[in-house]
Structure 1
Amino acid sequence: MAHETVQGAGHPRIVVIGLADGEPNPEFALTRKVTTIGSAYDNDIVVSGLDLHHATITRDAGDDFRLTSRGDTHYASAGEGSPTNDAPDGVRLRHGSGFTIRDTKFVFQREEFADRSHAEGEF
């Protein structure tokens, strides 16, 4: 029997790795339908050195989170055919999925109970 979860369950978040030596890695809760990443001040996650509006993470109707990039972004995740690919539009983020923009690494985290397994036929 599948474990039912409510929309946004499992504290979905992005952890930004390696921004400042010796400092804790900042975490950003994904509470909005669309979370923006870039160097412009109006982004939800602001990182200097990125394109002004570099990428978005969108929560879809099935409570999955999908990365769409407008700039050079590399995506790596266990189970992918290649360890690092240019991020395709709408790539599904799963717990532990990582992507890199320029020299900054981002990791999607979510409590395991809310991170559903792949649907039949989905790769």
Structure 2
Amino acid sequence: MNDQGETDRRETPADGAEPTTTHAAWGAGHPRLLISSEQERLVHELHEDRLLIGSSTECALQLPGTDSVHATIVHDERDEYVLTLHGEGEMNANPDAAATHPGDRSETLRTGAQFTAGPWRLVFTREEFADHGRPYGGREGGELSDQPLQPPRPDYTGRG
């Protein structure tokens, strides 16, 4: 218990297991996009901090049949990959919902997040140990207020 008589959610669980974390070194976990259309399958490794996706020659990931700049993925200061969909397409997040990126068609990508651009389906994947989402085991151990917090994020200002 803390000074206010409340249970500290970061305490070691009664079973003695140490809390897990999904915080890892900057850019860890082999982040990449699995890309498919009816005819092709591609993999794009995410090494850049800003990736333009579209049909323009200025895009690092050029996909025929998309808008000139159809989407952007930014590797942000929290070591998250954030998608902004500029052109038509579907994404996991409801762009009308008040979420982590209100007012735009953006979402923080988690392993398995999918979006479309023209005839292409793109799936983000990153090893679980570095995905910053729910710690190993997902919902196991509770939901929302019952789920133990992860330790604070590392300071990524030094990028590593």
Do these two structures clear the TM 0.5 threshold for a shared fold by scoring above it? yes
- Equivalent of residue 91 in structure 1, options 107, 124, 127: 107
Structure 1: gaps (5+ residues)? 82-87
> Is it true that 1:116 corresponds to 2:159 in the alignment?
no
Cross-structure match for 2:119? 103
Q: How far is 1:47 from its partner? A: 0.6
Structure 2: gaps (5+ residues)? 1-18, 98-103, 136-143, 146-160
When the two chains are superposed, the root-mean-square deviation of aligned CA atoms in Å is 2.3
Instruction: Quickly say closer, same or farther: Cα 1:5–1:60, change in 2 above 3 A.
Output: same
2: CA distance, partners of 1:95 / 1:30: 13
Residue 90 of structure 2 aligns to a residue whose secondary structure is strand
Instruction: Quickly say closer, same or farther: Cα 1:118–1:50, change in 2 above 3 A.
Output: same
Cross-structure match for 1:12? 31
Aligned AA (1:75)? M
Kept in 1, the 8 Å contact 2:22–2:128? The answer is no
Please list every run of at least 4 consecutive aligned residues from structure 1 whose deviation after the TM superposition is greater than 4 angstroms: 118-121
Q: How far is 1:116 from its partner? A: 1.6
Identity of aligned pairs, percent? 32
1: CA distance, partners of 2:122 / 2:116: 6
Kept in 1, the 8 Å contact 2:23–2:131? The answer is no
**Residues 4-83 of structure 1: pairs in structure 2 closer than 5 A:** 4-18=23-37, 20=39, 25-76=41-92
* Max Rg structure: 2
Q: How far is 1:118 from its partner? A: 4.9
Aligned AA (2:34)? V
TM-score by length of 1: 0.78
Residue 27 of structure 2 aligns to a residue whose secondary structure is coil
